[in-house]
A and B are shown apart, each in its own frame.
Chain A
Amino acid sequence: GAVVSQHPSRVICKSGTSVKIECRSLDFQATTMFWYRQFPKKSLMLMATSNEGSKATYEQGVEKDKFLINHASLTLSTLTVTSAHPEDSSFYICSARPPSRGAYNEQFFGPGTRLTVL
């Protein structure tokens, strides 16, 4: 149980285009999902907290208009990188928290999406 998937696993796009990344909780409903960004050999950097049915909460320094998050249902959150530029190239990872875990913040991560902007 507690499986999280991401699609696509890899994407290459041209500068100026938009890219959508999907995060799905496969065997549980997640009212809250999280989006992270990870640079090579670095730790995970939380970008935003995605809440089903409401606006995402962005971390300081993360551009809301560039990284659009939509938590469309209890099993799906999407991250859209708008007008992507080479500096947006990174490894994007989502996580989700199963409600049965109680109040503790136990998160399960997806396999990540490697974005390369040419």
Chain B
Amino acid sequence: QQQVKQSPQSLIVQKGGIPIINCAYENTAFDYFPWYQQFPGKGPALLIAIRPDVSEKKEGRFTISFNKSAKQFSLHIMDSQPGDSATYFCAASWRGATNKLIFGTGTLLAVQP
């Protein structure tokens, strides 16, 4: 019930393409869904996050789509660039300062020039 399932495991797109990474969860108590970007040898960086009261959130080239009834959310990267090549993790959590982030398994994205 606490798992967050992420797919695909890896993804290759051409520059300018729109990679889509999907995540699914079971625990309906989750109310915070962030996405993190991680480059090799670095810590994860918070990219964008959504709460279940909205179905979509955009920040620059990054968009989260959220489907509460299906318990799914996804990250879209518009006009992808080689510099976007990284590992992306979705996560979920429920309200509270000490509550954990439950991470997905990660997606390795490669954007080819």
Binding site for B on A (CB under 8 A): 4, 6, 31-32, 34, 41-44, 46, 49, 51, 57, 91, 93, 95, 97, 99, 103-112, 114
Q: Which residues of A contact B103 (CB under 8 A)?
A: 43-44
Q: Which residues of B contact A6 (CB under 8 A)?
A: 43
Interface size class of B (residues with CB under 8 A): 20 to 34
Q: Which residues of B contact A57 (CB under 8 A)?
A: 98
Would B108 and A41 count as touching, CB distance under 8 A? yes
Binding site for A on B (CB under 8 A): 31-32, 34, 36, 41-46, 49, 51, 89, 93-101, 103-106, 108
B69 to chain A, nearest CB (A): 21
Chain B interface mostly helix, strand, loop or mixed? loop
Q: Which residues of B contact A31 (CB under 8 A)?
A: 97
Would B44 and A93 count as touching, CB distance under 8 A? yes
Would A103 and B46 count as touching, CB distance under 8 A? no
Q: Which residues of B contact A91 (CB under 8 A)?
A: 41
B19 to chain A, nearest CB (A): 18
Say whether, besides A41-B108, A43-B104, A103 and B45 are in contact (CB < 8 Å): no
Of all chain A residues, the one with the shortest Cβ separation from B87 is A41
Would A43 and B89 count as touching, CB distance under 8 A? yes
